[in-house]
Every structure is written in C-alpha cells, then in structure tokens.
Structure 1
C-alpha cells in the first residue's frame, strides 16, 4: 500500500502515520527500491486490534444562521 492508500484506509494524516511508525505503534513501511510500501495485511491487522474510538468519523459541519440584521446589510 502506498502512503496515500494508508491515509485513506486509516483516516490519519501522513504526519500521524509517520509519527506512529517512529514510536513503534504502527506497522513500518518496507523499502522497495526508491519507494516505500506498507503490507496491506499488517495495516488491516493493526486496525482490527485498535479500539473503535480511534477510527472517529469526520465531524459534521453545521450551518450557522446569520442574524437578520447582518443579512440585511449584506443585501441577502
């Protein structure tokens, strides 16, 4: 798996993945020539061992209603 694939699967940033690898808390990448790849089964096994709270869902964006006085000034 490439770093982009690991980011997509874990929902962690690149920096967080590399930090976890450095601490020994995430499977290390393997060098293949000039590139680095993760073994998919190691990443999936690591994810299966993590508590479900570590894979948070993205926060829901909420619209904030603008006060009428401001909307009038903006011509809305």
Structure 2
C-alpha cells in the first residue's frame, strides 16, 4: 500500500497532518495549503474550511501557478495511478 503524498513538497501525509484535495484529485499538505493565505502562520498544519473549499475548487495546475512553482519542479504522480 502506497503512502499518500503532497503533490507540491512530496512529503508523506500522515493521520495527524491536515491535507486538502484539489478539484482534480491531488493532495496538498496543510503547510503548503497555508502558503496560499499570507495571513496564516507559516508552521501550522491546520487548514481553515474557507481555504479548504478554495483549494477544492481549483486544479493542481492552478494551485501551482498561485504558489509560483517553477516548471523545473517535477510534477508528482496522480493518486489514481499509484
């Protein structure tokens, strides 16, 4: 059984770490999700419901564009293909 991973930082998502899912099925850890809101603390994993709904209404590519991830970062595998 494979571990679920954040598509941005590739960290394993455990039971105690918050995560969100994008419109197209990719997982994002709470730490990276909170990077979308500059007013959020940097080292927290708790994701507010409003931010979670925002993430679930966008695709992984759109989230990557909002976080300004360079094209040199390899795109992670889709969870359905694991």
Superposition TM-score, scaled by structure 2 size = 0.28
Superposition TM-score, scaled by structure 1 size = 0.29
Greater fraction helix: 1
For CA contacts below 8 A with separation 6 or more, give which structure has more relative contact order. Answer: 2
